[in-house]
Copies of this chain bind each other. A is one copy, B any other.
Amino acid sequence: MSQLLSLRDRKRTETWAALHDAAARLTLESGPDRVTTDAIAAQANVSARTFFNYFGTKEDAILGLQDPSIDENWLTAFNVETNLLDQVSRLLVHVVHSTEGGGDGESLRMEVVQQFPQLRQRRVAYFLKVEQLVRDVVTEGITASAKWADVAQHHRAEDISRMIVLIAGAPMRYAMQESAHAPTLDNQFAALSSAISLLREVLPEIQ
């Protein structure tokens, strides 16, 4: 058997998916406001309380949003001294994909967002949290970096990383629009790569 995940972890993943799936499906049927957390929990065959063990809000469940976090691997590989634009762009996409339930619910989620624009607000808030998380990483890297000491002389590290993440975020948003109609992981990454290339070409022209 595929022993990658312990039984405990596998069940946790299944429950998460069951809740997200139930939330999205019921929302598609009746709209976000006519669906109760109780109904979602019942559909997923868990208690109403367990629902809130997995999702902070009903909308998070509908959209399949977790608190963003960064894999240890990505964190140790992250290095502010080279290719920062690439790294931050890819980091942003990675975090979104790994914490937005990159699995099956993909198209369900797309449909829900399309159908009920009021949920977009939540999605935006989520992206802001992702960016905040990445900003913190960049800030920490810059603070500890000799290469950035000069710039950091004149600007706060927070402001520097804010600017960097702002720029690096453009490819991500661009890529998400591009891949919106064929939202597989490969498509996302392909779109991201071409978006980064585009950014590289555009940047020199505008300064």
Measuring CB to CB, which residues of chain A are less than 8 angstroms from any residue of chain B? 1, 7, 42, 46-47
A154 and B182 CA atoms in complex are apart in Å by 89
Contact partners of A1 in chain B: CB under 8 A = 42
A12 to chain B: closest CB distance in Å?
Answer: 13
Q: Is the interface of A mostly helix, strand, loop or mixed?
A: loop
3 nearest CB pairs, A to B: A7-B47, A7-B46, A1-B42
Nearest residue (CB) in B for A6 is B47
Contact partners of A46 in chain B: CB under 8 A = 7
Nearest residue (CB) in B for A49 is B7
Contact partners of A7 in chain B: CB under 8 A = 46-47
A1 and B7 CA atoms in complex are apart in Å by 30
A47 and B7 CA atoms in complex are apart in Å by 7
Show 3 A/B contacts (Cβ-Cβ < 8 Å), sorted by A: A1-B42, A7-B46, A7-B47
Nearest residue (CB) in B for A1 is B42
Nearest residue (CB) in B for A10 is B45
Contact partners of A42 in chain B: CB under 8 A = 1
A1 to chain B: closest CB distance in Å?
Answer: 8
Nearest residue (CB) in B for A14 is B45
Nearest residue (CB) in B for A48 is B7
A180 to chain B: closest CB distance in Å?
Answer: 36
Contact partners of A47 in chain B: CB under 8 A = 7
Find the residue from A7, A42, A46 having the highest chain B CB count within 10 A.
Answer: A7
A47 and B47 CA atoms in complex are apart in Å by 21
A46 and B1 CA atoms in complex are apart in Å by 15
A1 and B1 CA atoms in complex are apart in Å by 37
